[in-house]
Structure 1
Amino acid sequence: MKMKILLFLLCLGQISLVYAKQCQIERLTATQLNLNSSYLSQAATSFSVACDSRYAIQFNSRNLTNSTGSSYLSNEKNYKLRTQMNISGATASRWNSPISQPATNQNKFVVLVQLMERPTAMTPAGVYKDNLYINLMF
């Protein structure tokens, strides 16, 4: 009988030591990035992450072609314009791969997109799009 009571008290002690981890994305500056139709035009967004434990962040895009951030915009007829995306604020600048980050009460990230192809008079008109995905794993 004493063993059961002691085990119960140990379990209660363990419960009080466990708490939910908390991570959140804050201060997003733009939900849509608009590039000009000129060679090397740029657009950026920034946001902060607050997390009370180590976490991983993963950046990806629908049209990503490699882990260094090469991607493309495509129109409704699937015509493509090359882009280059860069990450600052992370411990590495890898795409489509979790990047381990230390616990912090505010870590600022910036994602920059640059048009790497010169549109010409022969470039079909239309709305060119890509989707950017940011995943937090904690």
Structure 2
Amino acid sequence: MKLQVCIIMASFFYMASVDAKPCQIDRFTSNQLRLSSSYLSQAATSFTVSCDTRYAIQFNARNLTNTNGASYLVNQRNNKLRTQMNITGASSSRWNVPLVQPAGMNEKFVVLVQLLERPTAFTPAGTYQDHLYVSLEF
């Protein structure tokens, strides 16, 4: 069985006001999270946000199923493997909900993904993916 799991990270920035001071997101440790094909394997990425004013950060995923971070990876034939995603560094680990953060420099955020299903010999081969989005509103 050849099973490859991957989560692709994308970033989007929104500016709420032309008078707002700029916010910056950088220092990504990885733009792809690669899970091994074993039960409960984990992958993480981190990044920093610097903003002179209060801002809202929102984490979302293409295959997100609830605000607690439950999601799944899917292959080209729509086979699914369940995952759980967690956020540290934010005011909570809520997904697809704007999380208001105080102004600060180099505030670190970590996104951790864990495979919740045990791949077996019967798990269809393929590349399983999800897409993770991070949005800033300031």
TM over 0.5: yes
TM-align CA RMSD:
1.1
**Counterpart residue type for residue 27 of structure 1:** R
**Counterpart residue type for residue 54 of structure 2:** R
**Counterpart residue type for residue 47 of structure 2:** F
Greater share of helix residues, 1 or 2?
1
Consecutive unaligned residues of structure 1, counting only runs of 5 or more, are 1-17
Q: SS at 2:46's partner residue?
A: strand
Q: How does 1:1-138 map to 2 (within 5 A)?
A: 19-138=19-138
Give the Cα–Cα distance (whole angstroms) in 2 for the partners of residues 25 and 79 of structure 1.
Answer: 33
Give the Cα–Cα distance (whole angstroms) in 2 for the partners of residues 26 and 121 of structure 1.
Answer: 40
TM-score of the superposition, structure 2-length normalised?
A: 0.86
1:21 Cα deviation from its structure 2 partner: 1.4
Deviations 1:47-81 (CA, angstroms, capped at 9, x unpaired)? 00000000000000000000000000000000000
Greater share of strand residues, 1 or 2?
2
Give the Cα–Cα distance (whole angstroms) in 2 for the partners of residues 63 and 19 of structure 1.
Answer: 35
Give the Cα–Cα distance (whole angstroms) in 2 for the partners of residues 108 and 62 of structure 1.
Answer: 23
1:89 Cα deviation from its structure 2 partner: 0.2
Identity of aligned residues (%): 69
Q: Which has the larger radius of gyration?
A: 1
Runs of 4+ in structure 1 deviating by more than 2 angstroms, as ranges, are none
Give the Cα–Cα distance (whole angstroms) in 1 for the partners of residues 72 and 20 of structure 2.
Answer: 39
Deviations 1:59-118 (CA, angstroms, capped at 9, x unpaired)? 000000000000000000000000000000001110000000000011100000000000
Give the Cα–Cα distance (whole angstroms) in 1 for the partners of residues 131 and 19 of structure 2.
Answer: 34
Give the Cα–Cα distance (whole angstroms) in 2 for the partners of residues 105 and 32 of structure 1.
Answer: 25
TM-score of the superposition, structure 1-length normalised?
A: 0.86
| 1:6 corresponds to | none
1:135 Cα deviation from its structure 2 partner: 0.2
Consecutive unaligned residues of structure 2, counting only runs of 5 or more, are 1-17
Q: Alignment length, in residue pairs?
A: 121
